[in-house]
Structure 1
Amino acid sequence: MSIIEALIFGFVQGITEFLPISSTAHIVITQILLGYTFPGFGFEIFLHLASILAIILYFRNDLIEVIRGFINYILHRSSENRTSFYFGLYIIIATLITGVLGIILEGFMGEGLKTPPFIALALAVTGLFLIIIERFVRQGTRTDKDMTFLDAIIIGLVQTIAVFPGISRSGSTLIAGLFAGLNKETAVRFSFLLSIPVILGSTVLAIGDFTSGSLVAEVGIASLIVAFIATFVFSWLGIIWLIEFLKRSKLIYFAVYCFAAAIFVFFFLNNSLIVEL
């Protein structure tokens, strides 16, 4: 992989990971446009780790608060730590649901799902649900203090469908949280923190690539470093931008983008592949 390609993949992964537009779909689209195929899951997981590092550092105070409160509540049953304890517990529950169902679903998935027609359909579905949640669901007012086990179950179940390319993980969890009646700040915070154990858990899929050295051999150490740094930087910028964007704007703009991307993938990217074949 060239340095320019590494930079492009890092940019795409970083800027789309936490926006409700599916980073997986955009990585697949980028691969098609560049004519590059990843060697296994290793490189994709490697990029996700850079995104997670950005999340951990950006939300470090929130993480410390949740972890400290979770432990203190177990040890002392102190009322001031109750909210942090349950918030952490809900993250664990949603993660377990996603993990178990995700493993089951992946057994039925194949490379055929990473084709332009399927990605276009999934992007359109993401856009449709963004419109529904924006236009037809009343803005919630519930905060982390008001969350319940049902919220965690709903978000965990919905997050599971993000195993399909084109369905945004961040978008699905954000939509589920808003649908459950959480306010935007709480839904976004829960979605971001939930991404940490989910994506870290997915690294199990790439252990073989990391330990065998095949990832370095296929991609190159310099390209890996460039891709990791680019992903981290643009993930950080994406987090900041999304949080500020949602304070003053609507999800409808992401829906419009998803529909535009779906049209491009289906009518242009798909046709170009047919012509090449």
Structure 2
Amino acid sequence: MIGWLEAVVLGLIQGLTEFLPISSSAHIRVVSAFFGWQDPGAAFTAVIQLGTEAAVLIYFRKDIWTIISTWTRALWTPELRGHPAAKMGWFVIAGTIPIAVLGITFKDEIETVFRDLRLIGTTLIVFGLVLWFADHTARNKLTLQKHLSLTHALIYGVAQSLALIPGVSRSGGTITAGLLLDYRREEAARYSFLLAIPAVLASGVLELFEIGEGQAPAWGPTILATIISFIVGYAAVAWFLKYISTHRFTGFVIYRILLGVFVIAAVSLGWIPA
């Protein structure tokens, strides 16, 4: 079972890594294995992500309110249907469809085989290289308000669904897709965070029913980890958006590759179980 110390450590890791393109779920899985802790499982990971998602809701509260209110009013006010905020509402809904479908379809695999550390190490390396390629070939010029379309929203959504495999990274996958579509780095990150809201909230709420049952962690440590992830996550999202406005993702790519190599080596040498 997850203890109080594990809750503090894993809450910090979730808050620090959720918005960075390095995969928070991979870090939670790897750190737990390295310290000999029980795998906290997909339910615990999904629930503590509610903490970091709360940080997004507060950080982007003005944007989110504008999108929700305009989209809602546009349902019965035709002249508002072409408003960027109303269209953004539909784009977020459309972009959520792929992860909803795949999440339900592969629920058993997400909770079992997708958590294999050899797979996680491989995805850290492979998708790190894909991010590097996207970052160094992107023209970094498109904006969400002028260029986001239904097709682009669905492409973002498919990229987000790849994060069902720990090691891919929700933000890393969607930002990579945005860069390949030639969006500016900060624009790709902003849409990545907005797109994650429905998926993370839905997943976290559904998994709430698993907490405290069977092998799932108890409520106390889970709540503590969620609170910590919220506090740390709010600071992390502010720093990340400022950082990528003037920096490439090279540092994150190098880190992903090194961590992936370490994970695969550690499993191969028997230092940690797969």
Judge same fold: TM > 0.5, yes or no: yes
CA distance in 2, matches of 1:143, 1:217: 40
TM-aligned CA deviation for residue 149 of structure 1: 0.8
CA distance in 2, matches of 1:107, 1:220: 23
Which residue is equivalent to 1:76? 77
Which residue is equivalent to 2:188? 187
Moved runs in structure 1, 4+ residues, more than 4 A? 107-110, 215-218
Cα pair distance change 1:269/1:40, threshold 3 Å: closer
Flag structure 2 segments of 5+ consecutive residues without an equivalent.
none
CA distance in 1, matches of 2:74, 2:258: 47
Cα pair distance change 1:157/1:218, threshold 3 Å: closer
Which residue is equivalent to 1:214? 213
More helix by share: 1
Paired letter, 1:235: G
CA distance in 1, matches of 2:141, 2:206: 36
Which residue is equivalent to 1:85? 86
Which residue is equivalent to 1:143? 144
CA distance in 2, matches of 1:127, 1:227: 27
TM-aligned CA deviation for residue 102 of structure 1: 2.8
CA distance in 2, matches of 1:249, 1:140: 15
Cα pair distance change 1:217/1:91, threshold 3 Å: closer
Is residue 238 from structure 1 mapped to residue 236 from structure 2 by the alignment?
A: yes
Counterpart contact for 2:12–2:232, Cα < 8 Å: yes
Is residue 165 from structure 1 mapped to residue 166 from structure 2 by the alignment?
A: yes
Is residue 250 from structure 1 mapped to residue 248 from structure 2 by the alignment?
A: yes
- 1:128-187 Cα offsets, whole Å, 9 max, x none, are 111111112322323323211110111111211111111111111111122122222321
Counterpart contact for 1:120–1:266, Cα < 8 Å: yes
Counterpart contact for 1:140–1:178, Cα < 8 Å: no
TM-aligned CA deviation for residue 47 of structure 1: 0.6
Flag structure 1 segments of 5+ consecutive residues without an equivalent.
none
CA distance in 1, matches of 2:106, 2:213: 27
The residue correspondences of 1:5-44 to structure 2 (distance < 5 A) are 5-38=6-39, 40-44=41-45
- 1:93-123 Cα offsets, whole Å, 9 max, x none, are 0101221123223455562332222111000
Cα pair distance change 1:9/1:188, threshold 3 Å: same
Paired letter, 2:191: F
CA distance in 2, matches of 1:261, 1:39: 20
Deviates more, 1:64-73 or 1:40-49: 40-49
Is residue 115 from structure 1 mapped to residue 122 from structure 2 by the alignment?
A: no
Counterpart contact for 1:42–1:215, Cα < 8 Å: no
Which residue is equivalent to 2:179? 178
Paired letter, 2:155: I
Counterpart contact for 1:40–1:209, Cα < 8 Å: no
Which residue is equivalent to 1:58? 59
Counterpart contact for 2:48–2:204, Cα < 8 Å: no
Q: CA RMSD in A?
A: 2.4
Paired letter, 1:237: A
- The alignment partner of 2:166 has SS state of coil
Counterpart contact for 1:50–1:228, Cα < 8 Å: yes
Cα pair distance change 1:217/1:265, threshold 3 Å: closer
Report the TM-score, using the length of structure 1 for normalisation.
0.89
1:228 aligned residue (226, 229, 244): 226
Say how many residue pairs are matched: 273
Which residue is equivalent to 1:99? 100
Is residue 132 from structure 1 mapped to residue 133 from structure 2 by the alignment?
A: yes
- The alignment partner of 2:245 has SS state of helix
CA distance in 1, matches of 2:85, 2:108: 35
CA distance in 1, matches of 2:140, 2:40: 43
